[in-house]
Structure 1
Amino acid sequence: MTTAAQTEKRGPVAAAGVIAILAISVAATLFLFWLIYVHPASDQAGVRMAFLPALNALLNGASATALLIGFLFIRSRKIVAHRRSMLMAFGFSTLFLIGYIAHHALHGDVRYPAQAAYRGIYLSILASHIVLSAVALPMILITFFFSLTGRFPQHRKLARWTFPIWLYVSVTGVITYVMLRLAMSGS
């Protein structure tokens, strides 16, 4: 158990940690926007690592599954199992981000066909996915920071917001992948 004096002493450290996480998150988001919308793709033919979009969707689905399992564990007060599930979700999301960066570095932006059905729905889901993924990144990192540094009241308070946003981003990542693949195949 930490005393009030110990918690107060760690206050500046917590603030510095949160500021560092926010700065890293902004830099990562700006890098991703540059990579996707400015940087020229290095594999114009689209043949190298063509499996990445499917793998990324699988990783997003695995992250969503781990998040839901972690949520069920914490509701049952199984803290160790919750922690393991959330670390798995974080691991899947991290692997997804690596695959996402690799895919966009190689292939650039993939556009939904202009004449394909459901384009408006796809673009609406994609827009919310993009905006909320930029919001989710610092929230996820700060939520983990609070947990790993023993700031459980702050962790619980932020996790109530982080969980649904992270879950939404993971699920809509799979949905946008499926919609794009169906549109590209003409189905």
Structure 2
Amino acid sequence: MSETVSNASKKYTIWIWILSIAIPVVVAVLFSVRIPGVERMGFLPPIYATINGLTAILLVAAVFQIKKGNRKRHEQLMKTCIVLSVLFLGMYVTYHMTSDSTPYGGEGAIRYVYFFILITHIILSILVIPFVLITYVRAISGNFEMHKKIAKITFPLWLYIAVTGVIVYVMISPYY
């Protein structure tokens, strides 16, 4: 690894740590905040579920593009996935700042399936933050060998989160 690549990655390390800690903390704090005078934004869950689905599709498309050697298209798709994830997070937080959480009404074994998917989705959505940021920094720093190594971990985590986000929405939507 060249010294330039190493220095570029190091300068981002502090930001990766700050964002990886701050994002989940801020989201958790905002869950306890209610925006006064704003009505429930019940139209948001299907929108952010759609964003999750689109993110999953674009993640897969990005992998196909890089395997075909189309680095520029891969980069565009990955940047779009990051933007979509930020939009999702903004809408998700906004919804929860205007609405109480919806209790899941399913019974029996499906209830356990739902909570397993939900809990793994939430935990991995927190854990994936530094992976996405490190993967992105390695790419923009030109450290493609290390980018490729961590992307092999980041991709399935991020894809799982995007797909399970849709599944969670579909499973809870009858109870909104």
2: CA distance, partners of 1:43 / 1:119: 33
Match of 1:41 in 2: 34
Q: CA deviation at 1:114?
A: 6.8
1: CA distance, partners of 2:137 / 2:28: 25
Alignment pair present for 1:139 and 2:131: yes
Tell me which structure has the larger Cα radius of gyration: 1
RMSD, aligned α-carbons? 2.2
2: CA distance, partners of 1:117 / 1:180: 15
Q: TM-score, normalised by structure 2?
A: 0.89
Q: CA deviation at 1:12?
A: 4.4
Q: CA deviation at 1:116?
A: 7.3
Please list every run of 5 or more consecutive structure 2 residues that lacks an aligned counterpart in the other structure: none
Identify if the C-alpha distance between structure 1 residues 116 and 53 changes in structure 2 by more than 3 Å, giving closer, same or farther: farther
Q: CA deviation at 1:30?
A: 1.2
Q: Would you say the 8 A contact 1:41–1:108 is kept in 2?
A: no
2: CA distance, partners of 1:59 / 1:43: 27
Task: Name which of structure 1's ranges 55-64 and 81-90 shifts more when overlaid on structure 2.
Answer: 81-90
Match of 2:86 in 1: 94
Q: TM-score, normalised by structure 1?
A: 0.85
Please list every run of 5 or more consecutive structure 1 residues that lacks an aligned counterpart in the other structure: none
Identify if the C-alpha distance between structure 1 residues 10 and 78 changes in structure 2 by more than 3 Å, giving closer, same or farther: closer
Match of 1:8 in 2: 3
Q: 2:51 aligns with which of 52, 59, 80?
A: 59
Identify if the C-alpha distance between structure 1 residues 116 and 29 changes in structure 2 by more than 3 Å, giving closer, same or farther: same
Higher relative contact order (CA closer than 8 Å, sequence separation 6+):
2
Q: 2:15 aligns with which of 15, 20, 33?
A: 20
Task: Name which of structure 1's ranges 139-148 and 170-179 shifts more when overlaid on structure 2.
Answer: 139-148
Cα deviation 1:31-58 (Å, max 9, x = unaligned): 112223xx143479x9432211010000
Cα deviation 1:131-155 (Å, max 9, x = unaligned): 1000111111111111112121121
Cα deviation 1:68-112 (Å, max 9, x = unaligned): 100111111111111111112112111111111111111143221
Q: Would you say the 8 A contact 2:40–2:95 is kept in 1?
A: no
2: CA distance, partners of 1:111 / 1:102: 18
1: CA distance, partners of 2:19 / 2:80: 22
Identify if the C-alpha distance between structure 1 residues 166 and 109 changes in structure 2 by more than 3 Å, giving closer, same or farther: same
Q: CA deviation at 1:23?
A: 1.8
